Amino acid sequence: MKKFLKVLGALLGILILLVAILFGVNAYNRHKYAVPPLGEYQTSDQIQPVQGEYLNGFHFTPTDKRHKGVVVTFGGSEGSPDYGRAKQLWEEGYEVYALFFFGQPNQKESLAEVPLEFFDEVTALIPEGPVTVIGTSKGAELVANLAARGAKIDHIVLYTPTEYTYQGLAYGKKEMSSFAKDGQPIPYLSFRNSEPGASMKMFLDMMLGLPIRYRETYSTIPARADNTAEARIPIENFQGNGLVFAGDQDAMWQGEVAARGLAERNPRLEAHVYPDAGHMFSEDITEFGRSWEKMFGGTVEGNRAAKQDSERVLMDKLATWHR
């Protein structure tokens, strides 16, 4: 009995040591690979908070409005309203709404079953003129669903998009779709259908606090799911025009595959896929910390070139759409 207790005590000691090591490695890696926090959202006489029943964000009103209509921006799963892009467009004379779609006090707490009807509040604020909606990553998934499911939108711009609606990002809660319409979840692809090896690698990186490359998880789901057709966003329903941007080294998900697929199914969408670019186009991708290469992909030069050319294409197209 004493020998058994001695062995048991030794095993417990080893287990405690391993747990301590795991927590230590996790803390070290989270610090080492931390992504810089989002900047503060400044307001002024021309940049005012706007809030409704679900609506929440900022209204940018230019002193000298040089373009008709309104541009709306959405960020991605980081929870931003893409404030920086909105401010850039505002400085060019566009009226802009930079909006959150989850995470605010009057919204869904997490990116799960976000009600598409909230865009009706945006429509009610726009008296006239063309409406262009810009979304990035999960924000592009939102915009594609809005456009395909009847929202009053004239033009869309999708950065690093997806062809499908995926499972919502509500970790620790029951499995849900990312979006809902009229109280019903939009059909979605579940993470349960990802290739087991990819999922195990993702969870191991989570445990160790390492930056996570999600592409292998997302990209294996469509071929393994039995509801792929139902979860595919019916972008062919959208009657407006649009731009779709992606990089061919996207480490987050198969953005370049989606960009080409969306444009194939809707010829009114113009796809631009950039070589050596990843999930985030940036003048200096290293500003995202040490994790950028694994999490986002691409090269410094490729992401810079994609940033510069996509902005040129965007500004040319917006000037045409909003003249």
Q: pLDDT, tens digit, for every residue of 37-76? A: 445 799 999 999 999 999 999 999 999 999 999 999 999 9
Strands 56-60 and 47-51: antiparallel
Residue 243 has phi, psi (to 5 degrees) of: -120, 145
pLDDT at 36 over 80: no
Instruction: Identify the CA nearest to 160 among candidates 232, 76, 234, 268.
Output: 76
Between 195 and 204, where is the model more confident?
195
Contacts within 8 Å (CB) and 24+ apart, 171-174: 171/110, 173/110, 173/112
* Mean confidence (pLDDT) of the chain: 88
Residue 137 has phi, psi (to 5 degrees) of: 60, -120
Please give the average per-residue pLDDT across 141-155, as a whole number: 98
Between 203 and 177, where is the model more confident?
177
Domain ranges of the chain: 33-321
Q: Rounded to whole angstroms, how far apart are CA atoms 256 and 128?
A: 34
Stated as kind and residue range, the H or E segment containing 77 is none
Q: Count other Cβ atoms within 10 Å, centred on residue 124.
A: 11
pTM value > 0.85 = yes
Which fold does the domain 33-321 belong to in CATH? Rossmann fold (3.40.50)
CB 85 within 8 A of CB 128: no
pLDDT per position as a tens digit, 226-282: 999 999 999 999 999 999 999 999 999 999 999 999 999 999 999 999 999 999 999
pLDDT per position as a tens digit, 177-192: 999 999 999 999 999 9
The pLDDT value given to residue 170: 86
Query: Which of 1-5, 97-101, 124-128 is the least confident region?
Result: 1-5
Name every residue whose Cβ is closer than 8 Å to that of residue 184 and which is 6 or more positions away in sequence.
none
